[in-house]
Amino acid sequence: MNVTVRPGPKSLHQADFCAEIHAAAFAGAGIRAWSAGEFSELLDRPFSLLISAPGGILLAGIIDEDAEILTFAVHPSKQKQGLGAALLKVLMDHCRCRKVTKCILEVANNNYAAVKMYERFSFKQIGVRKNYFQTGRGFVSALVMEKSFLNDSDLA
């Protein structure tokens, strides 16, 4: 599996790629996909980190000792093949190298596969954001999850 890590400013081509994957991944849930313009703005920020592979993206922000997964998407044709776990493992390894102490994220509470994957990587629920994600069928709450790298023995 060819996984690419790109810190810092990115090209418009990368923003288009991210928007395409994001749209395909979230279409079934009825969640509005991010545009290429929105990705371009985030990708140009110095704290951004794009981890990508054919069919998947993980966009994170890392500032000092804190990381946040901003968005994470795998094309439906590539789901359930280990791509999401591979992208997340690359981020976890990168966080360890950068001496990050914690990583946070929000995930839809009805995205059971994603929640289970995050739990395999030792993410723990630390809160709930009620009615956080708007879908075509109303609102869905988000679980706020955190992984601590202090005393980290997880090598998932």
Which one of 41, 118, 119, 146 is the catalytic residue? 118
Q: What's the pLDDT tens digit per position in 90-105?
A: 999 999 999 999 999 9
Superfamily of domain 4-148: Gcn5-related N-acetyltransferase (GNAT) (3.40.630.30)
Q: Is 112 a catalytic residue?
A: no
Which one of 106, 112, 119, 132 is the catalytic residue? 106
Residue among 16, 69, 68, 73 nearest 40 (CA): 16
Q: Is 118 a catalytic residue?
A: yes
The β-bridge partners of 10 are none
Q: What's the pLDDT tens digit per position in 89-147?
A: 999 999 999 999 999 999 999 999 999 999 999 999 999 999 999 888 889 999 999 99
Q: What is the pTM of this model?
A: 0.90
